[in-house]
Amino acid sequence: MAIEHGGFKRKSKIANEIPTSSMADIAFLLLIFFMITTVFRKEQQRPVEFPDAEAMQTVDERRSNIMNIWVEPDGQVFINDQLTPPGQVTPIARQAYIDTDRRLVVSIRGDRDVPYNVINQITEELRDAGALRVNFYTDLEQRVTRARR
């Protein structure tokens, strides 16, 4: 083989490799940073069976702009884990509407067996509050569940 570099071997003391031994530590630090800064929505899951639908879409709005209204099978309404009697939805929705800079989407998470007048009461109160963008939360309809019903 021919003599490389004109016969002079390069004797650099600087390693020409990126040090990879600390990469895992850096990654973990990043991970811990994101874990700490993530704010989870602390809302209790309720024993609600959602209706099924085929035409459902995902809500295209930031999570902080979505307010959930849970309607339990016995007709009790919960907003932010607080039992909300009829007539009290309007002030809460209006405040949320202001807080979200008019971008509020109300997701009604109602049980499939709840009587319609409970839902109607909520939508009418939302109209009073001016919160007009509503999402009726549903699960994706599967053919199997359709045959069972």
Partner 1 sequence: MPLIKKKSKVSDEIPTSSMADIAFLLLIFFLVTTIFDRDQGLQVVLPEREDAEVDVPPDNLLFLLVQPNGSIVVRRGESPQTQTITHRQVQGVVRQALQANPEVIAAVQTHPEARYEDMTNVLDGIQLAGARRFVLQQLQE
The residue among 126, 136, 119 whose CA lies nearest residue 104 is 126
**Of residues 88 and 118, the one with the C-beta less far from partner 1:** 118
How far is CA 23 from each of CA 14, 27, 35, 111, rounded to the nearest angstrom? 19, 6, 18, 49
Residues 108 to 137: which contact partner 1 by CB under 8 A?
A: 110-120, 123, 126-128, 130, 132-137
Kindly give the interhelix angle for 89-99 and 116-129, rounded to the nearest 10 degrees: 50
Residue nearer to partner 1 on the CB measure, 3 or 35 = 35
Considering only 9-17, 63-71, 76-84, 87-95, which stretch makes contact with partner 1 by CB under 8 A? 63-71
Among 46, 56, 80, 94, the residue binding partner 1 under the rule CB under 8 A is 56
Give the SS3 label for residue 82.
strand
24 touching partner 1, by CB under 8 A: yes
Q: What is the nearest approach in angstroms of partner 1 to the Cβ of residue 42? A: 13
By CB under 8 A, tell whether 31 contacts partner 1: yes
